[in-house]
Amino acid sequence: MNQQHQNERARIREAMDRLLAGQPTVSNGSLTVVALAAEAGVHRMALLKRHVDLKNEFYERVRAETKQIPENEKRLRETVAKLKKTISNQKAEIADLRQRVTRLTLASAVLTQTRDPASDTPPPDNVVPLRSPTT
């Protein structure tokens, strides 16, 4: 590691300590990677690409020291809950549509079945016979 890389890591660790202590100097004080990068004076992509271990350490410390769930994890959990609800609703709708298709198929079969003229039983009262197509 070169000196610039080590200085960057030291600034990130100091910024981590300030944010977790609730004493931000540059950022808005939120416990996010964006605030950490701003507080440390580094580009946030540096945290996401070069210093992934420090980003993970920051989130672990947020959980351990503040007993809070990081904002991005909260948003992800909310999204997952919404998606699970959507999937549940769609499964119920699909089951309902399958039942309707079955019922409509049976009704169509009953209505299109030709009546045997040799049969003496009249059609039920609730069935209206369709005219045979003329050819």
Instruction: Sketch the domain layout of the chain as residue ranges.
Output: 3-68, 70-107
pLDDT band at 128 (very low <50, low <70, confident <90, very high): confident
The pLDDT assigned to 72 comes to: 77
The tokens describing 64, both together, are 């351990």
Compute how many other C-beta atoms are within 10 angstroms of the C-beta atom of residue 42: 20
| 3-state DSSP percent of the chain in helix, strand and coil, to 5 | 65, 0, 35
Mean pLDDT of the 88-112 span: 92
Compute how many other C-beta atoms are within 10 angstroms of the C-beta atom of residue 117: 6
Mean of pLDDT over the chain? 85
Per-residue pLDDT reduced to its tens digit, 13-33: 999 999 888 888 888 888 888
As a dihedral over the C-alpha atoms of residue 121, residue 122, residue 126, residue 131, rounded to 10 degrees, the angle is 130
The residue behind tokens 């609800």 is 85
